[in-house]
Amino acid sequence: MDSEKSMKVLSVASECVPFVKTGGLADVVGALPGALAPLGVEVRVLMPGYPAMKAAISEDAKTQELGRLPGGRARLISGPANGTDVMVLDSPRLFDRPGNPYLGPDGKDWPDNHLRYGAFCRLAAQIATEGLDGWQPDVVHLHDWQAGLTAAYLKLGRQPAPPSLITIHNIAFQGLFPPEAATPLGLPKAEFHPEGFEYFGQLGFLKAGLVYADRISTVSPTYARELMSAEFGMGLEGVIAARRAEVHGILNGIDLEVWNPESDPQIAMGFSAKTPARKAKNRVALAQRFKLYAGGAGPLFCVVSRLTRQKGLDLLLEALPRLLARGASLAVLGSGDADLETGFQAAASDNPGRVGVVIGYDEPLSHLMQAGADSILVPSRFEPCGLTQLYGLRYGTLPLVARTGGLADTVIDANEAALQAGVATGFQFSPIAAAPLADAIDRACDAFADKKLWAAMVRRAMRHPVGWETSAAAYAKTYAELIETAA
C-alpha cells in the first residue's frame, strides 16, 4: 500500500446512526464513513436487515441472492442510505422483527441470536474474501460482539483474507452462547478451547474477535489500559493483556453538525463561545420544561443517560442532599433500571422546583439539556468513551465526571495546577463513590460562584476539539499499518 489513499474498508456493525441505535456504538459507526472520506478511506457498512435498515436504503439499491447462510435463504441489498454506502443482510426470518435489535417482546435476548449474528458474520467474511461486484475491502473493521465471529471466519477459512481490526465499544456485552451454538455456524470444533473461541465452556463471539482479529481497539486510551485489569476486563482481561502491543485506544468524536450550539434547531436559542449570554435563554427554557426554579444561586446540573448501574446514578441519588444544600438544581432525562427510575422520580416529588425528571428517550430534549444546563453529570463506574461529556464540552455545559475510561481522557479537572495553567474544562472525581462525587459537586458549586472563572472555563470547554478529525486520522493510520503488515 503506497499511501493512505484508496483504502477500502468494510465496516461490520449491528447498529448505525441514524438507522438503528441502542448506544454509542451506533454513533461511531454512523460517523466514521464521513470522517474517513476526506482521508481517502472508502467505507462501506454491512448491517443486519432490520426493518428500519431496509426502509432506509434507497429504492434503486441493488439486490442479489446469497448462497446458504445460517438461518436460511437471504439476499444482500446494497446502495446508499442517508449518504452512507451500506450493505444489508436481508434475511426476513432472522431480522424482520420490530423494536430493540437484540431483545424479544419478553425483554429477553432473542433465543436465536447466535444464528442471527452468526449468519451476519459469515456474510461479512464472504464479502471480505470474495468481494462484491469487484469491490473488495483492504481492511475489515468489526464492531463489538455482533461482528466478532467474522474474525474467526476470516482467520480459519481457506481463502486468503484481508486483515481485521475489532473495536470494543462496551465489553459488558460479549455474545455468549452454549457450545452447541457453534455447530450450525460451521465453526471448527478443534478451535473450541480457551485459546480459540471458547469462553469458560461457552461460545464467545467477542472472545473470537479478540483472539482472531489482527488488531484490537477500544474507544479511549484509558479504557484500553483498564480493559487489561480484572476490575474492568469482565473476564477478558487476560486475552486483551496477552495482545497488549496490538491494542489501541482511539477516542470517539461527535458529529459537529448535529451538535452545533450555533445552529441547533432543537434548542431555544443558538449560541457560541462568543455569545454565552444566549446560553442563558436555553437555561430558562430548560428550567421551564422541568418545572425548575431558574433563579437559584447554584448551578443547574443535568443527566442524560441510560439509568443503569454502569452509569453510577445511584451515587448521584446518594450525593443529592449535598447538591441541594448548595442551592443547585437537577434535571434528569433517562430510562432504565426500575429502582433508579423510581429513585429519581421520588427525588423530584420530594424536591419540587429543584429536581425534575423525564423518564424516556428523547433526542430533541437531550439537545436542550446540553444547551441549557450549567454542568452535565457523568458519574459512571466504567465508561469506554462516553459521548454526553463531549456534547457538554461543545455546549459549554461543564462536565463533572468519574475519572475512568474516556471520561478521564476528555475532561480536564479544575485542580489547582490546571486552574493555574488555565486549561481546566470540567471536574473529575475518584475513587468512584458517593462522597467523592459530592465533593466534586461542591467544587463545581464553588467554581460556579466565581462568575469570571466559570465563564472562562465555559469558553475553554467550547473550544476543546471534540470532532472526529484526530481520531479518524488514528483509524486511518491503524488501517494503513494493518495493510502494510499483511502485504
| Residue closer to ligand ADP, measured from CB, 102 or 361 | 361
Q: Does 306 bind ligand ADP (CB under 6 A)?
A: yes
Q: What angle do CA 346, 352, 358 make, to 5 degrees?
A: 60
CA distance 120 to 12: 9
Q: Does 335 bind ligand ADP (CB under 6 A)?
A: yes
**Among the listed residues 386, 392, 396, 426, the single contact to ligand ADP using CB under 6 A:** 386
Minimum distance of ligand ADP from residue 378's CB (angstroms): 8
| Residue closer to ligand ADP, measured from CB, 129 or 410 | 410
**Among the listed residues 11, 16, 24, 90, the single contact to ligand ADP using CB under 6 A:** 24
Binding segment (CB under 6 A) for ligand ADP, from list 56-64, 81-89, 95-103, 385-393: 385-393
The residues, ordered by sequence, that sit 6+ positions from 158 with a Cβ below 8 Å of its Cβ are: none
CA distance 340 to 435: 19
Q: Does 118 bind ligand ADP (CB under 6 A)?
A: no
Q: Does 334 bind ligand ADP (CB under 6 A)?
A: yes
Residue of minimal Cβ distance to ligand ADP: 24
**Among the listed residues 91, 129, 388, 425, the single contact to ligand ADP using CB under 6 A:** 388
| Residues pairing with 301 in the sheet | 330, 375
Q: Are 7 and 40 in contact (CB under 8 A)?
A: yes
Q: Which of residues 152-171 bind ligand ADP (CB under 6 A)?
A: none
Q: Are 110 and 38 in contact (CB under 8 A)?
A: no
| Residue closer to ligand ADP, measured from CB, 135 or 361 | 361
| Residue closer to ligand ADP, measured from CB, 329 or 388 | 388
| Residue closer to ligand ADP, measured from CB, 170 or 478 | 170
| Residue closer to ligand ADP, measured from CB, 347 or 387 | 387
What is the SS3 assignment for 269? coil
| Residue closer to ligand ADP, measured from CB, 153 or 223 | 223
Q: Are 300 and 328 in contact (CB under 8 A)?
A: yes
The C-alpha cell that represents 321 in the structure block: 442532599
Q: Are 255 and 238 in contact (CB under 8 A)?
A: no
Minimum distance of ligand ADP from residue 365's CB (angstroms): 7
| Residue closer to ligand ADP, measured from CB, 216 or 304 | 304
Q: Does 305 bind ligand ADP (CB under 6 A)?
A: yes
**Among the listed residues 81, 127, 224, 304, the single contact to ligand ADP using CB under 6 A:** 304
Minimum distance of ligand ADP from residue 333's CB (angstroms): 5
Residue showing cell 436465536: 112
Minimum distance of ligand ADP from residue 51's CB (angstroms): 21
Binding segment (CB under 6 A) for ligand ADP, from list 177-185, 314-322, 386-394, 409-417: 386-394
CA distance 50 to 346: 37
The C-alpha cell that represents 226 in the structure block: 483498564
Minimum distance of ligand ADP from residue 327's CB (angstroms): 26
CA distance 13 to 26: 8
| Residue closer to ligand ADP, measured from CB, 127 or 166 | 166
| Residue closer to ligand ADP, measured from CB, 114 or 394 | 394
Q: Are 110 and 103 in contact (CB under 8 A)?
A: yes
Binding mask 353-372 for ligand ADP (x = CB under 6 A): --------xxx--x------
Binding segment (CB under 6 A) for ligand ADP, from list 3-11, 331-339, 395-403, 427-435: 331-339
**Among the listed residues 1, 4, 8, 23, the single contact to ligand ADP using CB under 6 A:** 23
**Among the listed residues 89, 166, 176, 387, the single contact to ligand ADP using CB under 6 A:** 387
Instruction: Please classify residue 201 by burial: count the beta carbons closer than 10 Å to its beta carbon, then call 0-12 exposed, 13-18 middle and 19+ buried.
Output: exposed
What is the amino acid identity at position 413? D
- Residues in the interface with ligand ADP (CB under 6 A) total 17
Q: Does 222 bind ligand ADP (CB under 6 A)?
A: no
CA distance 302 to 329: 8
Minimum distance of ligand ADP from residue 389's CB (angstroms): 8
What is the per-residue DSSP string for 47-105?
A: EE--HHHHHHS-TT-EEEEEEEETTEEEEEEEEEETTEEEEEEE-HHHH---SSSSB-T
List phi, psi (to 5°) of 364. -60, -40
CA distance 197 to 143: 17
What is the per-residue DSSP string for 434-450?
A: HHHHHHHHHHHHHHHHS
| Residues pairing with 379 in the sheet | none
The C-alpha cell that represents 164 in the structure block: 481485521
What is the SS3 assignment for 376? strand
CA distance 272 to 464: 13
| Residue closer to ligand ADP, measured from CB, 27 or 138 | 27
| Residue closer to ligand ADP, measured from CB, 363 or 484 | 363
Q: Does 289 bind ligand ADP (CB under 6 A)?
A: no
Residues at the interface with ligand ADP (CB under 6 A): 23-24, 27, 304-306, 333-335, 361-363, 366, 385-388
